[in-house]
Amino acid sequence: WLRTRDNSTSPNGYMMVVNASYSAGIFYERTVDGLCENTLYEFSADILNLIMSSVSNHIQPNVSFLINDEVRYSTGNIPQNEIWNTYGFTFTTEPGETSVKLTLRNNAPGGIGNDLALDNISFRACGPAALILPVEVANICEDGSPITLNATVQGGQFSNPALQWQQSFDEGATWEDIPGGAGNSIQHTQLSGGYYYYRYLLANSPANLANSKCRIISNVKVVYVQPRFHSVQDTICEGGTFLFGDTPLMEGGVYIDTLISSIGCDSIVTLALTVVPDGGLIAEVAANDPSCACYEDGAIEVADVRNFYPPVSISLDGEAVMAEQASFSNLSAGSYFLSVYDRLGCSVEYNIVLSEPDSLRISLGPGRAIGLGDEVILPVTSNYPLASAEWAPPELVICDADCLKPLLQPLQTTTFYLTGTTAAGCSATDSILIEVNEVRSVYIPNAFSPNEDGRNDRFALYADVPNVQEVVSMEIFNRWGALVFERDNFLPNDLSLGWDGTFKGKEAPDGAYAYVFRVRFLDEVELEYTGVVHLVR
């Protein structure tokens, strides 16, 4: 079902929610008495399909309107459109008919769906529009002329319309018939200053005017007679100005002038102006700059307003609140005009500047070049203390608690990014390119002499560590291709693991021997090195 409310502007409105039954049934019935014969009436209701529009395969509600148990109107399937829909019809009572039974009946079969809400069920006399035009207040001067109010009946439903003009003396709470006010117009002749209220009743015959269920009520027309003489009392703060017509006044006293009102009437206005001392209105104002460049989190706070004539208002660049303290937040850097003023115009003003902080700047320095397997320590510099540092790619960064002097050991050329954040939440990013020189430093001798003289007695592979992880394999072949020595998975630079020039426990003869080394480097790259080594005794 939809989440909805009733179809009225009242905060305490009601509606009827119906989970319709499987069989056709009645969910509203009322008998109305005291009607007029030969009179047009309207029977209507607002109906809402309660099933959300996104839901499919639900039965649509279908409602019939009955008069005296006879179907006079059907809604058809009420759409699943999530809005209130108004349905209704008009009918004319028969000669001698003064009572009718009104019924709303469910037509659709029950089951999944057929859920609806009802509101604003209405039964009223219907007819032409009863208007007094124009609808705006009619303004006249106290020394002006009477005006005519005309009834405008729009629509031809009434063949023999009857009118009765009425006047209210309590601003529309109650109404009295105007003697002789049965014509299409009346004259307003009362020219004493004040407001006057008029309307008229309309029915299709004089007999129906007396029955509230058989007549139509026009809009209320207000006539305002502006008095010629006005008395005004006002008070201003010392040093303030009161504009009396075109004359600015700063001193207390009684002033009389003839002014033209907004509706063009000559008015004699007597002003009693009082000037009160300025008590020295003051306020405590605190300004908080934005925390970061281009941020909109600055604030201006006003508190402890003193020496004022209540109530007091606080305005920042035209945004005013009536209060003795205020906080204006979400402000960007810039100039602001703050005014604190009371009901008599005593005021104090402040020009406030919120400063833009310097932008956070982070530097990782110029790019670096290192060899494969080398490490680099990268200090971070910034113009504000950093509360946190986020590196990318994080798996290649080794750092301590604050990560502001990390150890980097990339195995290939990599761009590192740092996003630093201050305690205030300002952030900035810098990057640095670390180029990795992929020179594979491997040395293989071309001769050795295994004569145990302490010099070149072993044939081995030499390499920079940690450039090389390990020698994956080492193979030595004689001139006929026979394998005379092999070793797997050992570290370079270790003579004790090299070939000692023997084959099957005996000294191998002098000569040229082929070798094949397979080397795994720190970056997991494996390379094969081949060549010839000379055994010399």
| Lowest model confidence (mean pLDDT) among 155-159, 264-268, 362-366 | 155-159
The pairing of beta strand 221-226 with beta strand 138-141: parallel
3-state secondary structure 116-176: EEEEEEEEEECCCEEEECCCCCEEEECCCCCEEEEEEEECCCCCCCEEEEEEECCCCCCCE
Pick the CATH number of 442-535 from 2.60.40, 1.10.10, 1.10.287, 3.40.10: 2.60.40
Check whether 506 has a pLDDT greater than 90.
yes
Q: What is the mean predicted confidence (pLDDT) over 71-85?
A: 93
pLDDT tens per residue across span 331-346: 999 999 999 999 999 9
Percent of the chain with pLDDT over 90: 71
113, pLDDT greater than 80:
no
Interval 17-67: pLDDT, tens: 887 776 778 889 999 998 988 888 899 999 999 988 888 888 888 999 999
Distance CA 289, CA 300 (A): 9
CATH code of 16-125, in short, is 2.60.120.260
End-to-end CA distance of the chain: 100
Q: Looking at residue 87, what is its pLDDT?
A: 96
468-477: strand order across its sheet: 447-448, 526-535, 511-521, 468-477, 483-490
Residue among 162, 174, 160 nearest 220 (CA): 174
C-alpha span between 492 and 498 (Å, rounded):
9
CATH architecture of the domain covering 129-226: Sandwich (2.60)
Domain 282-354, architecture per CATH: Sandwich (2.60)
Q: Please give the average per-residue pLDDT across 228-235, as a whole number.
A: 92
| Per-residue confidence (pLDDT) for residue 110, from 0 to 100 | 65
Q: What is the mean pLDDT of residues 149-171?
A: 90
The amino acid sitting at 265 is C
CATH top-level class for 362-437?
mainly beta
Q: Where in the chain is the domain with CATH 2.60.40.10?
A: 129-226, 282-354, 362-437
- 474, 485 in Cβ contact below 8 A? yes
Which amino acid does the sequence have at 323? A
Q: What is the average pLDDT across 65-88? A: 94
Which pLDDT does position 400 carry in this prediction? 81
Percent of the chain with pLDDT over 70: 99
Instruction: Look over the chain and give the mean of its residue pLDDT values, rounded to a whole number.
Output: 92
Closest C-alpha among 402, 379, 382 to residue 390: 402
Q: How far is CA 198 from CA 105, 108, 208, in A?
A: 41, 48, 20
78/122 Cα distance (integer angstroms): 19
